[in-house]
Amino acid sequence: MKKTNGKLLHYFVALMMIFFLPLASCDDSDDDSADPGNGNGDNGGTEKWEPYNFQNHKSATMVYDFEFEEDGETSWSGTSTIEINDPSVTLTVVFNGDENVITADNHDNVEDNFNEAINNSPYLGAILYGGFWPTIFEDQELSVGASWSWSYEGNSVDLEITGKEQYAGQEGYVAEYTFEYEDGEVATYTICVDPDIPLPLMVEIVEEEARYHLVMTDYQN
């Protein structure tokens, strides 16, 4: 098995640690570069996705398979089980065959405990926190055919919802977008989101010869 050079992984881990909390709470009304979207969906639907909002997930289980490929070879892979028992969060990660159990219960709300647990699992966190989703999807109405643009401090996104798919028995909207970083590098994202679930059903990130992939395999709430 080829050993990854970790370039893309390290970038997303840094992104997760530095930007997630500020972006999750920022108000785009103070950012003139944010585009509220063109609202050109096919049915004028009003469904919206609020990532990491666990208000309706006080007792839930979400299971994922995830992997990282480089130059067409799998560098690492694993499974993760996220168990929520308000307010505690238990994350069980099987990574390249080794099991690691992380329980976070230091806070009085699920969101902070989830953040703490994921921060202790950078391989999974790199995928779940690597996309600026709280800001990209903020106040956007989801419908097949909808598209919008977003920019923040030199990073930019052009997004389109291309259809619907099912994972773990749940149907979500498939959004495809390119993410251009301030240094000029470009990553291509495909993400499937269910407005009723605070985490994505599927994520695929491709940059040059590297590929991240995460898919939900079981969902209980």
- Give the DSSP H/E element, type plus range, for residue 25: helix 7-25
pLDDT at residue 164, rounded to an integer: 97
Contacts of 85 (CB under 8 A, 6+ apart): 58, 59
Whether the CB-CB separation of 80 and 124 falls below 8 Å is answered with yes
Is residue 74 in a domain?
Answer: yes
Give the angle 142-144-150 at the CA atoms, nearest 5°. 55
Q: How many CB atoms lie within 10 A of CB 217?
A: 14
* Antiparallel, parallel or unpaired: β 186-193 and 202-207: antiparallel
pLDDT of 103 strictly over 90: yes
Whether the CB-CB separation of 142 and 195 falls below 8 Å is answered with yes
Question: Quick one: 163 exposed, middle or buried, by C-beta within 10 A (0-12, 13-18, 19+)?
Answer: exposed
Provide φ and ψ at 103, rounded to 5°.
Answer: -115, 125
Over range 137-150, report the average pLDDT: 94
Is residue 15 in a domain?
Answer: yes
Report residue 96's pLDDT band, with 50, 70 and 90 as the boundaries. Answer: confident
Whether the CB-CB separation of 65 and 82 falls below 8 Å is answered with no
Mean pLDDT of the chain: 80
Total structural domains within the chain: 1
Give per-residue pLDDT as tens, 202-214: 999 998 888 889 9
pLDDT at residue 86, rounded to an integer: 94
pLDDT at residue 7, rounded to an integer: 43
pLDDT of 84 strictly over 90: yes
Token pair of 13 as six digits: 């881990």
Is residue 214 in a domain?
Answer: yes
Host domain of residue 190: 7-220
* Antiparallel, parallel or unpaired: β 210-220 and 88-95: unpaired
Residue in this structure with the two tokens 């977008």, named with its chain if needed: 177
Is residue 1 in a domain?
Answer: no
Contacts of 55 (CB under 8 A, 6+ apart): none
Is residue 126 in a domain?
Answer: yes
pLDDT at residue 6, rounded to an integer: 42
Over range 58-85, report the average pLDDT: 90
Is residue 2 in a domain?
Answer: no
Over range 144-150, report the average pLDDT: 94
Beta bridge partners of 9: none
pLDDT at residue 97, rounded to an integer: 79
pLDDT at residue 221, rounded to an integer: 95
